């Protein structure tokens, strides 16, 4: 085989955002004709290094070479025109202009005749481009706002492809695409390879990465851990590279310790408008009680009802001292916490800072000694700092908006918000949904520590492995009823649970 030609070289690159070190001496090479995957946890630096190569921002230090020449693109438009195009993780189109105007945004001068932009020519060029890519459900003169999310991503892909990039960078695009859209994207990536051009592909889905990429480069905390060639792919190896330890053994708990007989939370024949009819449940001290089932089985309603979020038509939820939980204020006052399945709408104030979100559960705790409702700034700051540190929430500052964080770090903020007030009972509804392995592992460890400290956890989950891996007892629900109750034993299998779900 001839030696491969190097297309891009990144040399000793650093990027700082305030105190955050996003890239810490990153060096790697990309050869021609290769689909290279960049993989790593949220916040490991994948978008940062890609966007620097694509001219969206300069590095703090370090250099690049593209086709053997120094490469320091001053803008994305420049990079696009000279051979490196990127489909960004966020939405990259403007809704109120047409598909054609989006595709040629910033390059309108190409169609200038005298002082006037020849729109008809722009439309024709767009039609030709879409046709060439086999895109039939998008029209050149359509305003982008009429398109759905998937079609908008396809417009971005087309926009990139117009310039026939030698390096196409695809940053977390496939999650926005359905199967059809993905196939389309994969075919474009394969064509790049066949034409001796290259791709940098970023996705959260390890299976997808292993399938589509010729090699995988792993980033962790802004450092390149290594590159694995397709022949050597091994999921546990790659995961270990991503989080720096073998996770198979300690991903889930591996003990069979029981829990106390003491009932700390009880649902007595609770009935809701929909979903539940005379439903009973007991949660014990030091227990992780798992509830699984299909998404409509009523398990999410159980979680909401226990936290006082559902109106009960009949029955009651009580704590061990008899306190009735019928609204969230009583629940919180009695040291209960709830992590909603709908994190962004129910668990977080997205327009508030990390600080404000975590501190929101501490008003009673962080009060000034004297009379009145004043909050001690010192206490509140410590209350928040401890969680940011303990949970390794990756943020440049706790005063930043929580919306600037990755999904995994947002979820850590939600956990922090409930751990800070030392909650005795935690209701977790799909707590690890959409977070990557590192954050998942951290959450499992946290749940286990809480259990060991005598706290009680209700884990509602759509992932059977997680239920089996973490629960002391598992309930499987169907049509609002418990169909199966299993204790934590070595014989607990997914197959067994599935039988009762469907
Ligand atoms: N514009 C920015 N301002 C401040 N911090 C940023 C910015 N962009 C990225 N970061 C931080 O840099 C780190 C790497 O981020 P990023 O490259 O987006 O990671 P990835 O794409 O691997 O999830 C993270 O800690 C992130 O919070
Ligand atoms: Mg990213």
Decide if 111 is inside a domain: no
Decide if 18 is inside a domain: yes
- pLDDT at residue 1, rounded to an integer: 45
Q: How confident is the model at residue 471 (pLDDT cuts 50, 70, 90)?
A: very high
- Which residue pairs, CB below 8 angstroms and at least 24 apart, start in 157-161? 157/87, 157/133, 157/184, 157/185, 157/188, 158/103, 158/129, 158/130, 158/133, 159/85, 159/92, 159/102, 159/103, 159/105, 160/80, 160/85, 160/86, 160/87, 161/85, 161/129, 161/133, 161/188
Does residue 281 share a domain with residue 193?
no
Q: Is 45 left (phi over 0), alpha (psi -120 to 50) or beta?
A: left
Decide if 120 is inside a domain: no
Calculate mean pLDDT across residues 454-477.
94
- pLDDT at residue 250, rounded to an integer: 56
- CA distances 496 to 190, 252, 493, Å, are 41, 19, 5
CATH of the domain at 309: 3.40.50.300
Nearest ligand to the C-alpha atom of residue 172? 2
CB of residue 57 inside a 6 A radius of ligand 1: no
What percent of the chain is modeled with pLDDT above 70? 98
CB of residue 204 inside a 6 A radius of ligand 1: no
Does residue 391 share a domain with residue 356?
yes
Which of these three, 249, 269, 289, is where a domain ends?
A: 249
Measured in angstroms, how far is the CA atom of residue 382 from the centroid of ligand 2?
30
Q: What is the pLDDT of residues 343-402, one digit of tens each?
A: 878 888 888 999 999 998 888 888 877 777 788 888 999 999 999 988 888 888 999 999
Tell me how crowded residue 183 is: count the other CB atoms within 10 A of its CB.
11
- Which residue pairs, CB below 8 angstroms and at least 24 apart, start in 177-185? 177/150, 177/153, 178/150, 181/150, 181/153, 181/154, 184/134, 184/135, 184/154, 184/157, 185/157
The two three-digit tokens of residue 56, written as one number: 């969206």
Measured in angstroms, how far is the CA atom of residue 102 from the centroid of ligand 2?
23
Q: How confident is the model at residue 62 (pLDDT cuts 50, 70, 90)?
A: very high
CB of residue 471 inside a 6 A radius of ligand 1: no
CB of residue 150 inside a 6 A radius of ligand 1: no
User: Which of 45, 89, 201, 221 has most ligand 1 atoms within 8 Å of CB, for mutation?
Assistant: 45
Shortest-distance atom of ligand 1 to CA 48: 17
Query: Could you give the CA distance from residue 15 to residue 103 in angstroms, rounded to a whole number?
Result: 30
- pLDDT at residue 489, rounded to an integer: 84
Question: Of 244-258, 316-330, 464-478, 479-493, where does mean pLDDT reach its minimum?
Answer: 244-258
Which of these three, 221, 249, 277, is where a domain ends?
A: 249
pLDDT of 244 > 70? The answer is no
Q: Give me the phi and psi of 33, to 5 degrees please.
A: 70, 25
Shortest-distance atom of ligand 1 to CA 171: 21
Measured in angstroms, how far is the CA atom of residue 171 from the centroid of ligand 2?
7
Query: Could you give the CA distance from residue 123 to residue 163 in angstroms, rounded to a whole number?
Result: 16
Residues facing 10 on adjacent strands? 28, 64
Decide if 125 is inside a domain: no
Query: Could you give the CA distance from residue 395 to residue 165 in angstroms, rounded to a whole number?
Result: 34
Does residue 153 share a domain with residue 37?
yes
The residue range of the domain holding 276 is: 260-335+424-435+450-502
Does residue 476 share a domain with residue 417?
no
Helix (H) or strand (E) holding 71: none
Query: Could you give the CA distance from residue 189 to residue 36 in angstroms, rounded to a whole number?
Result: 10
Q: What are the DSSP calls for 14-55, one per residue?
A: EEEETTEEEEEEEEEEEETT-EEEEE-STTSSHHHHHHHHTT
Does residue 488 share a domain with residue 358?
no
Decide if 461 is inside a domain: yes
Cα 494–chain centre separation: 25
Q: What is the pLDDT of residues 411-459, one digit of tens each?
A: 899 999 998 888 999 999 999 887 777 788 888 988 999 999 999 999 9
Token pair 């990557």 in the structure block, residue: 436
- pLDDT at residue 121, rounded to an integer: 95
Residues, beta carbon < 5 Å, ion ligand 2: 47, 89
Choose between 435 and 338: higher pLDDT: 338
Instruction: Let me know how long the chain is.
Output: 502
The two three-digit tokens of residue 63, written as one number: 């250099």
Q: What is the pLDDT of residues 201-220, one digit of tens each?
A: 999 889 999 999 999 999 99
- CA distances 249 to 56, 252, 307, 382, Å, are 41, 7, 33, 34
Q: Indicate the number of domains in the chain.
A: 3
Q: How confident is the model at residue 3 (pLDDT cuts 50, 70, 90)?
A: low
pLDDT of 472 > 70? The answer is yes
Measured in angstroms, how far is the CA atom of residue 15 from the centroid of ligand 1?
10
Decide if 130 is inside a domain: no
- pLDDT at residue 154, rounded to an integer: 94
Q: How confident is the model at residue 176 (pLDDT cuts 50, 70, 90)?
A: confident
Strand order in the sheet with 223-229: 84-87, 167-171, 198-202, 35-39, 215-220, 223-229
Does residue 156 share a domain with residue 60?
yes
- pLDDT at residue 497, rounded to an integer: 85
Decide if 108 is inside a domain: no
CB of residue 353 inside a 6 A radius of ligand 1: no
- pLDDT at residue 249, rounded to an integer: 47
Token pair 């009802």 in the structure block, residue: 305
Instruction: Name the pTM for this structure.
Output: 0.57
Mean pLDDT of all residues belonging to the chain = 91
The two three-digit tokens of residue 317, written as one number: 């939820």
Shortest-distance atom of ligand 1 to CA 405: 27
Query: Could you give the CA distance from residue 388 to residue 376 in angstroms, rounded to a whole number?
Result: 19
pLDDT of 290 > 50? The answer is yes
CB of residue 42 inside a 6 A radius of ligand 1: yes
Does residue 303 share a domain with residue 199?
no
Measured in angstroms, how far is the CA atom of residue 333 from the centroid of ligand 1?
36
Shortest-distance atom of ligand 1 to CA 394: 25
pLDDT of 81 > 80? The answer is yes
Does residue 91 share a domain with residue 196?
yes
What percent of the chain is modeled with pLDDT above 90? 67
Does residue 281 share a domain with residue 239?
no
**Of 286, 418, 445, whose CA–CA distance to 360 is shortest?**
418
Token pair 């007030």 in the structure block, residue: 421
Nearest CA to ligand 1 atom 25: 43
pLDDT of 483 > 80? The answer is yes
Question: Of 56-60, 171-175, 265-269, where does mean pLDDT reach its minimum?
Answer: 171-175
Contact at 8 Å (CB) between 437 and 444? Answer: no
Does residue 202 share a domain with residue 89?
yes
Measured in angstroms, how far is the CA atom of residue 277 from the centroid of ligand 2?
44
Nearest ligand to the C-alpha atom of residue 221? 1
Q: How confident is the model at residue 133 (pLDDT cuts 50, 70, 90)?
A: very high
Nearest ligand to the C-alpha atom of residue 395? 1
Contacts of 243 (CB under 8 A, 6+ apart): 41, 220, 437, 438, 441
Does residue 34 share a domain with residue 82?
yes
DSSP code at position 100: H
- pLDDT at residue 246, rounded to an integer: 44
Decide if 227 is inside a domain: yes
Does residue 171 share a domain with residue 64?
yes
pLDDT of 125 > 70? The answer is yes
Helix, coil or strand: residue 63: strand
Which of these three, 185, 220, 249, is where a domain ends?
A: 249
């Amino acid at each position: 085989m001839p030696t491969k030609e190097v297309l891009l070289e990144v040399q000793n690159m650093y990027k700082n955002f305030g105190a955050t070190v996003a890239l810490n001496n990153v060096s790697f090479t990309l050869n021609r004709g290769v689909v290279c995957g960049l993989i790593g946890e949220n916040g490991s630096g994948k978008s940062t290094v890609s966007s620097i190569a694509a001219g969206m921002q300069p590095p703090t230090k370090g250099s690049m070479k593209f086709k053997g020449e120094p490469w320091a693109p001053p803008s994305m438009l420049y990079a696009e025109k000279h051979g490196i195009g990127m489909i960004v993780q966020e939405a990259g189109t403007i809704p109120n202009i047409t598909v054609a105007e989006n595709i040629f945004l910033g390059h309108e001068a190409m169609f200038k005749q005298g002082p006037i932009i020849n729109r008809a020519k722009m439309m024709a060029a767009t039609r030709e481009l879409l046709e060439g890519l086999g895109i039939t459900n998008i029209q050149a003169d359509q305003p982008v706002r009429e398109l759905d999310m998937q079609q908008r991503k396809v417009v971005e892909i087309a926009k990139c492809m117009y310039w026939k990039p030698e390096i196409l960078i695809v940053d977390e695009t496939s999650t926005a695409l359905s199967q059809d859209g993905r196939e389309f994207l994969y075919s474009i990536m394969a064509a790049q390879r066949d034409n001796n051009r290259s791709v940098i592909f970023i996705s959260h889905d390890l299976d997808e990465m292993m399938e589509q990429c010729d090699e995988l480069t792993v980033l962790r905390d802004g450092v390149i851990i290594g590159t694995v060639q397709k022949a050597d792919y091994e999921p546990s190896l790659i995961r270990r590279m991503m989080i720096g330890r073998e996770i198979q053994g300690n991903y889930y708990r591996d003990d069979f310790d029981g829990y106390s007989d003491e009932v700390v939370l009880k649902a007595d024949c609770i009935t809701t408008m929909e979903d539940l009819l005379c439903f009973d449940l007991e949660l014990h001290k030091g227990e992780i009680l798992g509830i699984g089932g299909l998404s409509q089985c009523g398990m999410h309603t159980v979680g909401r009802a226990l936290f006082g979020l559902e109106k009960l038509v009949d029955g009651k939820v009580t704590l061990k001292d008899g306190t009735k939980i019928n609204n969230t204020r009583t629940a919180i006052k009695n040291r209960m916490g709830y992590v909603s399945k709908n994190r962004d709408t129910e668990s977080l104030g997205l327009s508030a800072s990390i600080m404000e979100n975590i501190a929101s559960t501490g008003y009673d705790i962080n009060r000034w000694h004297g009379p009145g409702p004043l909050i001690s700034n010192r206490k509140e700051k410590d209350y928040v700092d401890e969680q940011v540190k303990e949970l390794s929430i990756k943020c440049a500052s706790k005063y930043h908006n929580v919306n600037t964080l990755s999904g995994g770090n947002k979820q850590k903020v939600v956990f922090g918000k409930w751990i800070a007030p030392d909650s005795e009972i935690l209701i977790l509804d799909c707590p690890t949904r959409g977070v990557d392995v590192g954050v998942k592992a951290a959450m499992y460890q946290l749940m286990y520590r809480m259990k060991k400290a005598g706290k009680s956890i209700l884990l509602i989950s759509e992932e059977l492995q997680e239920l089996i891996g973490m629960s002391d007892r598992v309930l499987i629900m169907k049509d609002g009823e418990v169909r199966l109750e299993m204790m934590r034993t070595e014989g607990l299998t997914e197959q067994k649970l599935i039988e009762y779900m469907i």
